[in-house]
Amino acid sequence: MRTKILKVMSFAAVVIVVLSFSIALQLELPAPSGIYAVGQAVFKWQDTSCPETLTESADDFREVIGVIWYPAMQGTGTQSPYFPALSTVSNGLVESGEVEGWQAFGLQYVRSHNLLDAEGDKSDAPYPIVVLSPGNGTNIEFYTSLASEIASHGYIVIGVNHPYDVAAVELSTGFVAPYDKAQWSLDVNAHQVYTAERIKVRTADVLFALNQLENLNTDSLFAGMLDMDSIAVAGHSLGGITASEACKADARFRACINFDGSQRGGPFSMDETATPPQQPFMFLTKESQLHPKLIERFESTFQSYWVIVHNASHESFTDGPLLQPSLLPIPNQADRIIELIQEYTLAFLDATLKGKPADLLSETLHRQDISVKAYPSH
């Protein structure tokens, strides 16, 4: 019996060592490649003109939680945890069904390169702005790698946590808003109606966040840092459809990016008859096939791009694949895929918000790892 116990203990020790080694090697996000250090801050805004429809109290109003990544002064702030509110929302993440218990536990060991509440680097201010909406059931924190990379190249990224649409988020009252799991008990048609309504709510959230930027630019640590004439909106999955709808709803958005979001109207809308945004538009996706009617809509745009990242999955646009267990301290396919996503995102933003030449997007391209189609085609 003692021999068996020793064997079990030895095996357990090996497992602990292997897991610890794995965590030490790979639970650090890739360092942003830009010239700026990246700060991270959280703002909570309440929209008193908009009742919260997913709670029972008539006194509840919609809140928008903004996680902001920005160029920061090195040596200020404190080292930011990957998920700053993890201790508060951890149980909610698990209860949502979108995050496993072991995953929520492991998040505390993930290291980012960001500085929490750091002073803004105003040396090159003002900076263009990107408003970012996450996928269904996915907190905006899980886009830290993408947002940090964009910010490190001289942008301010306003990530939006949509209460009841993300896994779990703490409101200004301290209440943790859970993900609305009841939607999955609906039949297909009812769920489509539900999703269309949630996209309207999400779009309103994005526009409300947009309206807060003037205050941020005058009375916060971002005073004077935001270029209010250079704003794009982007989103992943349902957030991508939200970005398209927000772009059509407000001309203050100069450009729009949809990361792998497609509904009845393709990357443009829930509505299969909907038209694309008039602003420059990029569909950055894993999808290599689109219905001919959608191609016609791309052709009708002023300036749009269909960029296909081959070998990507729907989760490749989040940090998830970067945090998969790996005992090899070398770049893997997930690293290369997120690099491509970031590279083409920055090329589009640099062209539309900074007026730089978009060499990566200037011509039709077909490679083993990426394809680019520009519209209208010539």
Of 286, 294, 179, 314, the C-alpha closest to 244 is 294
Yes or no: say if 303 and 282 are a contact pair by the CB < 8 Å rule.
no
Domains and CATH numbers, the chain: 2-375 (3.40.50.1820)
Structure confidence at residue 52 (pLDDT): 93
- How buried is 1 (Cβ within 10 angstroms: 0-12 exposed, 13-18 middle, 19+ buried)? exposed
10 Å Cβ neighbour count for 268? 30
Per residue in 294-328, pLDDT (tens digit) is 999 999 999 999 999 999 999 999 999 988 754 34
The number of C-alpha atoms within 13 Å of 242 and in the hemisphere containing its C-beta is: 30
Query: Rounded to whole angstroms, how far apart are CA atoms 263 and 128?
Result: 29
Of 241, 246, 247, the C-alpha closest to 264 is 241
Structure confidence at residue 324 (pLDDT): 75
Query: Rounded to whole angstroms, how far apart are CA atoms 367 and 365?
Result: 7
Structure confidence at residue 239 (pLDDT): 98
Q: What are phi and psi of 26, to 5 degrees?
A: -125, 0
The secondary structure element, H or E, covering residue 298 is helix 292-299
Structure confidence at residue 20 (pLDDT): 45
Q: What is the dihedral of CA 218, 224, 225, 230, to 10 degrees?
A: 90
Burial 54-87 (b: 16+ CB within 10 A, else e): eeeeeebebbbbbbbbbbbbeebbeebbbbbbbe
10 Å Cβ neighbour count for 189? 8
Per residue in 181-218, pLDDT (tens digit) is 999 999 999 999 999 999 999 999 999 999 999 999 99
Residues 6+ away with beta carbon under 8 Å from 233? 130, 131, 132, 133, 206, 243, 246, 247, 253, 255, 256, 257
Which regions in the chain score pLDDT beneath 70? 1-26, 325-332, 378
Structure confidence at residue 4 (pLDDT): 39
